[in-house]
Amino acid sequence: MEPAPRHDDPPSPPAHVAIIMDGNGRWARERHLPRIAGHKRGAETLRKVLIAAGELGIAYLTVYGFSSENWRRPADEVDELMSLLRHYLCSELAELHANGVRVRVIGDRGRLHKDIIALVEDAERQTQDNTVLHFTLALSYGSRHEIVEAVRRFAQQAATGDLDPENISEEDFTAHLSTAGIPDPDLVIRTSGEMRLSNFLLWQSAYAELVFTEKLWPDFCKQDLTDAISEFRQRERRYGATGV
């Protein structure tokens, strides 16, 4: 029999934290800087948050790096973001791997440049056996597209007689999403004061606690993550049931 937890033991952190990193452009505009300066500062913030997540005992961290809708931005800004992504994947991989971080990328890779796809695949391959922190980066990602793709695969299986639609369960559907094998997020944080999910992990966040902060992403720090976790711990998660 396992010993009962001591009353003075610190509460466990949420197992899976997802973050919508918002506010890079606004941060740059407030400082009369080009938008790419905000994105570069945001990449530095991500590095610090990854370290903080490990220190706080978070097992899974998922961040919204580039949405499927972000392709609509001006071409020069998209090109700058892709260049920044290349630099990030090249410069940070060795440290992430050394610190036991497993890297996983979800989203529509078909729209990414071939060299970026190769960098992503290399990062996933090198870190696939790491277990200290599971880091998922959503790139060219949209949750509605993800859900439609899952439905399409089910429809194809049903059309060939390999699947009886009556037997489809929530667990089956979850297994067809790009996040298969990753637990649903317990806590979703969005920075910059916006209060919406913006097509991010819609199925997976059904019972997640949502925390919105006014802090712009480039200014987000370990203390802000700690504060969000503290707010999470104060909430009663009932999953549709009544409270005691």
In a domain, 158, yes or no: yes
In a domain, 7, yes or no: no
In a domain, 216, yes or no: yes
CB within 8 Å of 9: residues ≥ 6 apart: none
In angstroms, the CA 136 to CA 179 distance is 9
In a domain, 102, yes or no: yes
Does residue 7 have a pLDDT over 70? no
| Total domain count, the chain | 1
In a domain, 240, yes or no: no
DSSP one-letter code for 17? E
Residue-wise pLDDT for 101-111, tens only, equals 999 999 999 99
Residue-wise pLDDT for 187-227, tens only, equals 999 999 999 999 999 999 999 999 999 999 999 999 999 99
In a domain, 239, yes or no: no
Amino acid at 87: H
**Range of 229's domain?**
16-233
CATH number, domain of 52, equals 3.40.1180.10
In a domain, 5, yes or no: no
Residue-wise pLDDT for 62-84, tens only, equals 999 999 999 999 999 999 999 99
In a domain, 242, yes or no: no
> What is the rounded (10 degree) CA torsion for 174, 175, 178, 182?
80
Write the CA distances from 215 to 138, 189, 190, integer angstroms.
21, 11, 9
Kindly tell me the burial class for residue 180, based on how many C-beta atoms sit within 10 Å of its own C-beta (0-12, 13-18, 19 or more).
exposed
Phi/psi region, residue 184 (left: phi>0; alpha: psi -120 to 50; beta: rest), is beta
Please identify every residue annotated as catalytic.
22, 70
Among 5-19, 75-89, 230-244, top mean pLDDT goes to 75-89
